[in-house]
Structure 1
Amino acid sequence: MTTREVYPSAPLRLVALELTFPLTTRLLSRTLWDQLEAAVADDLPDVSVFTNEPEIAIPSGHHDPILRRISEDRKRAVTLYAGAVTIELADYKSYGDLEELTERTLRALRESLPSSLSYTRVGLRYINEIRASAVGISDDQWHLPKAWMPYLNEQLLSQVDTPPEGLCVFGNRKSAFFHSKTGSEYISMQYGITSEGVVDPSDVLVLDGTSGPCFVLDFDASQFGSAKEPVATEGETVMETIARLHNLVESTFEWSVTDQSREVFRA
């Protein structure tokens, strides 16, 4: 995996990894719950159970939550859904934080479901919120794309010069989609100016405060497969896939920001 600079004051608010399975995978198995407890309970002691029927083979919906383990400070969580496992971190400092928790979760999956694992999608999301106050943009300028020009790739900035009658500009959000030239990985990018952050600071995880006016860089990198042709069936292959997706996110982030932003993130 390519090693890039780790910024002490990175604008990262939330990292989420999602591993998706066919619905026939027995994520409702009590064996898996026990293995997950053994793997992560020391760091994620708090547990919530969302079903009273732990041995149902095929649940009603792919994204029905089943069980969640969460840290005492509510900064990290692992959640089992009917067809997926998610790992979320609000205290992410480096890729090693995600890698370590993911490897323990994969071990629980491997030891409880050794013959039925097939990963049909691996998705990695990094949500960044560059606060206007952090880069010195004033309260009367944050909504203007030109105020962000020293800090962001100019291709991400556009100006609405003449809004509809009776209205004023209060933000500017866009999307971009990219595909790897050498592989099957995708990355989508939601970006733009907003009056407040896009991450709910009191949702599953508790974040430190709100961002206020900011520029959002929301990256979602993924690789898709199917039940017949999964992305991976082995934990090692999954980790290799996650590493490639992480490289895509990091390179897209670096493309998005300027040296002036990097100086702020290094502070």
Structure 2
Amino acid sequence: MYPNREVFPNAPLALVAAEVRFTDSARLRQQQTKDDIAIALEDRFPFAEPLQQANFHLTLGGSAQVQERLGVVLKNSSSTESLTLMSESLTYETTAYHSFEELLTAITTACDALVEAKVLPALQRVGLRYIDEVRVPETVDDVRQWSRWIDERLVGHLWVGPEDFPATSTQTISTYDLGEGRGLNVRCAALDQGSIVVPQHLKRAAVESGPFFVLDFDGFRDFTRLDTVQLSAEVVSDSLSVVHVPCGTAFQRSITDEARTLFRGERS
């Protein structure tokens, strides 16, 4: 657990994702393997869609090479959570996040299914990402006004500019070394548009266009500098659990008590 942990009824979460990257697995390019995994996971993800991606690479001679990557997307009945299988990755995404425990169950069950299908590549990166879009019931004409809901440490730098003119946008990114190959990327931005999260395969509740503040937390563990670590549900679970703490701590430090009242559905 982390300090001040609280589950908010009106949390500003737009998307939560967990990604497991690994060395290329020939078995995941075989349709039979993908079918076996889809069947193993059909209780939670009963619907499957083929996925085709094209990557373009420029050669030294200036010609373009196209590399096609085939995968499968497994979705739940409400299209609010999915698992995407590619030959080099397993990705879980949800637009209806309820708890870390549910996420952990989904991703570790999928890892067990891969191992059962004899997919045993070397891990390269395990990541956990929370993207929040904070919207408030008041007009925000100056980004500095976000200090009512967003911690002053994230918007205070805007006062270096002219006080008589509004700040219209801001974006920052910070990276933290958590030791033992673990890290945390924190991105913040004040924007004025519809949304930055537009999921390709999932449904998301409609949001009104207008100012919002993005809090994006990406915790990860990098395995590329270690001795080979083979894919296993236990290693993935431990990696996600460790980076979940700094992600949650950073979120709690990023918001004010006014925001907590808003996320609880209470009147200030």
* 3-state SS, counterpart of residue 29 of structure 2: coil
Which residue does 1:193 correspond to in 2?
190
1:84 aligns with 2:82: no
RMSD: 2.6
Cα offset, 1:217, TM superposition: 0.2
Q: Which structure is higher in strand share?
A: 2
Alignment length, in residue pairs?
246
* 3-state SS, counterpart of residue 38 of structure 1: helix
Query: Alignment partner for residue 64 of structure 1, among 69, 84, 101?
Result: 69
8 A Cα contact 2:129 2:216, kept in partner: yes
* Distance across 1 between alignment mates of 2:114 and 2:213: 37
* Distance across 1 between alignment mates of 2:24 and 2:12: 36
Cα offset, 1:104, TM superposition: 1.6
Which residue does 2:55 correspond to in 1?
none
Structure 2 vs 1, CA of residues 123 and 216 (structure 1 numbering), >3 Å: closer, same or farther?
A: same
Query: Alignment partner for residue 100 of structure 1, among 98, 105, 116?
Result: 105
* Distance across 1 between alignment mates of 2:232 and 2:144: 48
Within a 5 Å distance, the mapping from 1:57-206 to structure 2 comes to 64-113=69-118, 116-133=120-137, 137-138=138-139, 142-157=140-155, 158-159=157-158, 161-162=161-162, 169-180=167-178, 182-196=179-193, 197-200=195-198, 203-206=200-203
Worse overlay, 85-94 or 224-233: 224-233
The percent of aligned pairs where both chains have the same amino acid is 25
Which residue does 1:22 correspond to in 2?
23
* 3-state SS, counterpart of residue 27 of structure 1: helix
Structure 2: which amino acid aligns with 1:222?
F
Structure 1: which amino acid aligns with 2:245?
N
Deviation readout 1:163-218 (Å, 9 max, x if unpaired): 9xxx97532111111121x5431111111211132101x52211101253210001
Structure 2 residue runs without a partner (length 5+): 53-65
TM-score, length of structure 1 as denominator length: 0.82
* Distance across 1 between alignment mates of 2:223 and 2:116: 23
8 A Cα contact 2:21 2:126, kept in partner: yes
8 A Cα contact 2:169 2:189, kept in partner: yes
- Show structure 1 runs of 4+ deviating over 4 A: none
1:33 aligns with 2:38: no
8 A Cα contact 1:224 1:231, kept in partner: no
Structure 2 vs 1, CA of residues 151 and 247 (structure 1 numbering), >3 Å: closer, same or farther?
A: same
Structure 2 vs 1, CA of residues 50 and 130 (structure 1 numbering), >3 Å: closer, same or farther?
A: closer
TM-score, length of structure 2 as denominator length: 0.82
Structure 1: which amino acid aligns with 2:16?
V
Structure 2: which amino acid aligns with 1:190?
R
* Distance across 1 between alignment mates of 2:184 and 2:141: 26
Which residue does 1:54 correspond to in 2?
none
Structure 1 residue runs without a partner (length 5+): 52-59
Which residue does 1:218 correspond to in 2?
216
Cα offset, 1:232, TM superposition: 5.3
